[in-house]
Structure 1
Amino acid sequence: MVPLKEIKAKDIAEKPAEVISPEETISEAVGKLLKTEERVLPVVEKKSFLGMISLKSLLKRRKIPLNAKVRHFTFMPPRIDPDTSLFDIADIMIYQNLRALPVVKGERLKGVVSIRSVLKAAAQDPLVGGARVGEIMNPSPASLSEEENSTHAVRFMVMEDYRALPVVDSGGKVTGVVGLKDLMRVLEKPQSKSSKGEVRGEKEPTEVLVKSISTPPVTVSVKATIREAVERMLSNSTNILVIVDEEGRLAGQPLMIFML
């Protein structure tokens, strides 16, 4: 096993599922974001990295023409090179509240390092991986009631920067999870019925209850180790892991795992 201090960006970087060119449209960007379930897309032109476009920035705007060019909404995040250490990557992510970093050499995009990749590497360390979920979780997790509406959910998640939130019943038992991707699909439906050519961010014309669009949760016990939690996350192909007690009630929000 490679010691954590020796792991570099090039060891854990992954090829992005999708990239987008600056001349493609916002409509195409939203389609790719929904398809990949990612929150950001690398913007690349002739193999040169130009920046990122994010789901959060699109949702926060009141209206964006669907045919607007991606280049007008691109931002430049901190870039790391292939030899950046795992510890330096974690520091940048934590202190700048980022979930993915582009790995760039010269002007060429070599891959992307996500929090998921960092967690997977860290979980192999005996000291880190052996810690209990209950030892690192936030004991005051955010959640949504089954009866709350989609407008409240999307506004809260965008403003507080959540990728997803657990849905609970009146007794605090976890019944599902609502993600931004689920809400985006709801938001897509009324676009053609409102102002043609616009994406609405803060204003959502269709009201649906959270419970009607939630998906089954992947849960883990507060007694599980970090290694077990990461393995469960990977085996279920999910980034969203909800911490529950023995009765299935929401118990906590991991500092990093649930915030992916």
Structure 2
Amino acid sequence: MIIMRRLILAFVAIGLMAGGSVFAKAPDKVTPAAAKEKGCLSCHEGIEDIRDTASPMMAMIQAKGAPHGDAAGCVVCHGGNPQGLTKDEAHKGSPAALKNEGGPQLFYPDPGSVWIAENSCGQSGCHSGYAYRVERSLMNTEAGKIQGNLHTWGIDEVQNHKVPWGNYDVADTDGSVPQVGTDEYKAYMKEMMAAHKDQFPTELKMVPLPSVEEIEKDPKLAGFTYQRQECQRCHVAING
């Protein structure tokens, strides 16, 4: 029993030591030679690859990052300056050539944000068109949930299944044929949109924010306050 405890403690100690080396504090400043050799990893040494190192996607990211001074590929999605010697220098701007290719225009701490995804995930050679579809997806606009909730509050504009509002102003400008899917699916959706125009709007407006005075005059407008403060507060794309 004592031996087993000692073994467990030894494994825990090894794990802590390993964790300490992986997550060691980044240096305040690196040398030009280190930045040239390692790019972003001159500070972020030991960070895990975003994908399996042996995967085709990771190989593509690394190949895309190498010409911009970052063989690890971090710059491809995050932008920044891989040759920066300090945090402030490295976390600023983006390589000019990468910007011209439609990549990050600035340093992006969170390249997965829908608001800049067109220049990270959706840049040329990666998931082109994906950001456009996500921004207009039902999961992101939450137009259906908004319509359903406001219908129960008696809001006139959403009666008869009309869908005028979403989390933000957005227009769908690419026509009635979906960008992806089989030919059968595209034909089906085109017919659905033609038959139910109120349920497949070409644009949405942000959920209104009535004033206290307006709500006092028309209490059902409190539905908008409820929608914003209770339903929308957790959505990743908005402030609530």
Whichever of the two has the greater Rg, that structure is 2
State the TM-score bracket (shorter-chain normalisation).
under 0.3
Richer in helix (by share): 2
Name the structure with the higher strand share: 1
Higher relative contact order (CA 8 A, sep 6+): 1
- TM-score between both structures, scaled by the size of structure 2: 0.25
